[in-house]
Amino acid sequence: MTTASTDFYQYLFDVRGKVALVTGGTRGIGFMIAEGLVKAGARVYVASRKAEACEETEAQLSPHGFCVAIPSDLSTIDGCKTLAQDINTREDKLHILVNNAGVTWSEDIDAFHEKAWDKVMDLDVKSPFFLTQQLLPLIRAAASPDNRASIINVTSVNGIRPSNLRNYSYVAAKAGLGQLSQQLASDLMSDCINVNVIAPGLFKSKMTAPLFTSKDAEAQVMASQPMKRGGAMEDVAGLVIYLSSKAGGFITGVTVPCDGGVTSIN
């Protein structure tokens, strides 16, 4: 007969004191991830464009632990470099990088414009690559065989299978980020850095607000989901904590759908 050990549980899932950066951490899924990491004891940096949203996020999360928000436009390589330099002045290691910031665009195929293509590609696939590149020295410094560092790229179920959303550049960017992540997992294996992908299904956020224009619309959308609900903070933050802790150390190069069964059941 054994008894449950809090120490063992903490040993498996401990992220206390780890330094994390969550891009797009001021609202939606990024905020959920940042909230979970802060409450689990990580030192969390978030980045997004709007200074006001950054201030609000810091004010909301700081009572629960360490949270610093840095206004940054990550749609350009200069923006990625500036953020990496800023983190570098504050920390000498980065254990967890969550490339979450993303944008989508829906338009009929006949009207789909190059601007919509480039805007999505820049933030959803180019930025995670160059931000990772800029932060690699700090991530390498955090990584060891016993405590591998963790890069998590947030894609979408739309990068795995078609939908009716006409979001052509988004599906290409998310599928591309998925494949890029596998390549990075292979290339960074010997640096003790794990690279994995979380592919969310439906989460209520500004991005998905057009689906939730009324209570009736929301009820219909939720009824269409296998679990009759969308994703919650615990669902996605729990997965990030798992992948970034001792428990997830043997996992790299995989895509984990966080979608209540959408890709496996429907």
Ligand X SMILES: NC(=O)c1ccc[n+]([C@@H]2O[C@H](COP(=O)([O-])OP(=O)(O)OC[C@H]3O[C@@H](n4cnc5c(N)ncnc54)[C@H](OP(=O)(O)O)[C@@H]3O)[C@@H](O)[C@H]2O)c1
**CB nearer ligand X, residue 148 or residue 242:** 242
* 167 interacts with ligand X by CB under 6 A: no
* 207 interacts with ligand X by CB under 6 A: yes
Q: Of the residues 9, 11, 45, 170, which is catalytic?
A: 170
d(CA 43, CA 46): 10
Whether the CB-CB separation of 167 and 105 falls below 8 Å is answered with yes
* 196 interacts with ligand X by CB under 6 A: no
- What are residue 194's phi and psi, to 5 degrees? -90, 140
Give the contacts of 98 (CB within 8 A, at least 6 positions apart): 20, 21, 22, 23, 25, 30, 33, 152, 154, 240
* 119 interacts with ligand X by CB under 6 A: no
Site string for ligand X, 226-245 (x = CB under 6 A): --------------------
* 101 interacts with ligand X by CB under 6 A: yes
Q: Quick one: which of 74, 9, 15, 10 has its CA closest to 243?
A: 15
Q: Please identify the residue of the shown chain whose CB is closest to the bound ligand X.
A: 28
* 200 interacts with ligand X by CB under 6 A: yes
Interface of this chain with ligand X, residues 123 to 152, rule: CB under 6 A: 123
Neighbour count for residue 42 (Cβ, 10 Å): 26
Could you tell me the smallest distance in angstroms from the CB atom of residue 25 to ligand X? 6
Sign of CA dihedral 113, 117, 118, 120: positive
d(CA 187, CA 135): 15
Give me the sheet containing 96-99, strands edge to edge.
66-71, 43-48, 19-23, 96-99, 149-154, 193-200, 255-258
**CB nearer ligand X, residue 14 or residue 45:** 45
d(CA 28, CA 161): 22
170 among known catalytic residues: yes
**CB nearer ligand X, residue 150 or residue 158:** 158
* 202 interacts with ligand X by CB under 6 A: yes
* 75 interacts with ligand X by CB under 6 A: yes
Could you tell me the smallest distance in angstroms from the CB atom of residue 201 to ligand X? 6
Binding site for ligand X (CB under 6 A): 23-24, 26-30, 47-50, 53, 72-75, 100-104, 123, 154, 156, 200, 202-203, 205-208
Tell me the catalytic residues: 170
